[in-house]
Structure 1
Amino acid sequence: MGDSQSWTAAPSAAERARSVLAAAWSCAVTAGGGREEFVGAHTVADDGRVLLEAPEDSRLLAAAVCAPRGEPSAVIEFADVAPVPVRSRIRARLWMAGWFVPEGGRLAFRATRVVLRGASGAVVVDLDEFAAAAPDPLATAEARLLTHLADCHADAVERLTRLVDPDSLHGAVRVQPLAVDRHGVTLRIERARSHGDVRLAFHAPADDVTRLTERMHVLLTQAASCPRALQRQRTDGDG
């Protein structure tokens, strides 16, 4: 399969929300004034509906199911946690307000409002766009890919910093891979008392791990001709 022609430098809010759902292993349900955590209990339908296997003694979900049909009676929250140890590891939070209905032995959540909060603020995701969007093709592999990059290829991460504006590296004490999707890789730049993120876009989308390897190779090749920016910043700071 050839490279997709509909390419942008970053995923849409709906795609980011669906990616959070695809990768999440746990969620929290708030209903009836209480809150309950569920681990490994949900799946996601093709249209973005959350299907929850609820224990029989879940009073929160019982209250949500018994609420008037069609009225928002529950909120499900998902946290997008960076797989690599960094400051402020929660990269985004996804909230879905709506109600539960029985479906095929499980509880299906019908959302009336979807909100995604990331580093740049909260975005209300259009429900039709959310239902039609697909998660990033790397979403379920991202944790493995990033931990491998951080643990086994620290030299490659350092080389990628050569593509970063030197001003963004001022005072940097550590750089870690924070996120990767089909459109690019994001680095977390940590300083003594603050941190920031820098995104390096791919020249074309990476729709699978093989293409991701190729796109990363292109970035590293580009970086090879750039000065050792991070090393220079550290040297300047020592002086």
Structure 2
Amino acid sequence: MGDSQTWAAAPGAAERARSVLATAWSCAVTAEGGREEFVGAHSVSDDGRLLLRLPDDSALLTAAICAPRGEPSAVLEFADVAPVPVRHRIRARLWLAGWFTPEDDHLAFHATRVVLRRPSGAAVVAVDAFTAAAPDPLSEAEARLLTHLADAHPDAVERLTRLIDPGSLHGAVRVRPLAVDRHGLTLRIERARTHGDVRLPFHTPADGVAQLTERVQRLLARASGSGCPRALQGQRADGDR
């Protein structure tokens, strides 16, 4: 398991849950004692409803039509996977319990319970808050942004380690960008057998990529005035898992 983490100025549970839903590329559905996994089948309508378009031969279609309306008949699971290769890449899991109704060429899911599990623990999110929340404004661009930072600017990541408490870097062999949202940037510190995360909050939230660029540049400017980068004990950890 990883070390304890710092989650300063982080998104709330409802916003984080909506971000997971918006960016997940697959979902697993458990209904009527069976489990199916779908890729690219879900979307979110303008009014916040979750819609699934499934193959005609899906057992879930029959289960949804026959299930009593108003009773929990399915559990949907979504995983939030870090776009940059790191140890333990799943950053959060989202579970939605509820029931389906057929609508035209898709199924509409009506959530009755929302549970978000993050490294800091699991949280039950009020359904109304979940429906009303919007995804983080950087969520759609996050994978591209983090991959670019890790691959094209490793020197910038190294410079940001100057902002990390030296004790948090004890035994570190690699530091990688793990997540970014409008509130801050999270770095994954990998050691030989363990890992921990450190969050670098922005001075104010970033509502778009242009503002994010300014926020990161401001962090780098702070880091440039904080002395030398922290020395790591090796070039990489024991591989990605």
Query: Please, what TM-score do these two structures have when normalized by structure 2?
Result: 0.91
CA distance in 2, matches of 1:61, 1:164: 51
Matches within 5 A, 1:52-201: 52-201=52-201
**Conservation of the 8 A alpha-carbon contact between 1:166 and 1:229:** no
**Conservation of the 8 A alpha-carbon contact between 2:64 and 2:102:** no
**Structure 1, unaligned runs of 5 or more:** 1-7
Q: Provide, for residues 139-158 of structure 1, a one-character-per-residue CA deviation record: whole Å limited to 9, x for no partner.
A: 01000000000000000000
**Structure 2, unaligned runs of 5 or more:** 1-7, 235-241
Residue identity in the other structure for 2:221: T
**Conservation of the 8 A alpha-carbon contact between 2:99 and 2:111:** yes
Q: Aligned-pair distance for 1:229? A: 4.4
RMSD: 1.3
Identity %: 74
Q: Aligned-pair distance for 1:54? A: 1.0
CA distance in 2, matches of 1:101, 1:64: 7
Residue identity in the other structure for 1:139: S
CA distance in 1, matches of 2:48, 2:188: 29
CA distance in 1, matches of 2:12, 2:29: 25
Bigger share in helix: 1
- Higher mean Cα deviation, 107-116 or 220-229? 220-229
**Conservation of the 8 A alpha-carbon contact between 1:172 and 1:230:** no
3-state secondary structure, aligned to 1:134: coil
CA distance in 2, matches of 1:109, 1:173: 44
**Conservation of the 8 A alpha-carbon contact between 2:160 and 2:229:** no
Q: Aligned-pair distance for 1:47? A: 4.0
Query: Please, what TM-score do these two structures have when normalized by structure 1?
Result: 0.92
CA distance in 1, matches of 2:82, 2:48: 22
Q: Provide, for residues 45-99 of structure 1, a one-character-per-residue CA deviation record: whole Å limited to 9, x for no partner.
A: 2343210001111113321331110000001110000000000000000000000
The answer as to 2:10 corresponding to 1:30 is no
Residue identity in the other structure for 1:39: V
CA distance in 2, matches of 1:29, 1:88: 23
Give the total of aligned pairs.
227
Q: Aligned-pair distance for 1:106? A: 1.1
**Conservation of the 8 A alpha-carbon contact between 1:97 and 1:114:** yes
Moved over 4 A (4+): none
**Greater relative contact order: 1 or 2 (C-alpha under 8 angstroms, separation 6 or more)?**
2
CA distance in 2, matches of 1:12, 1:85: 25
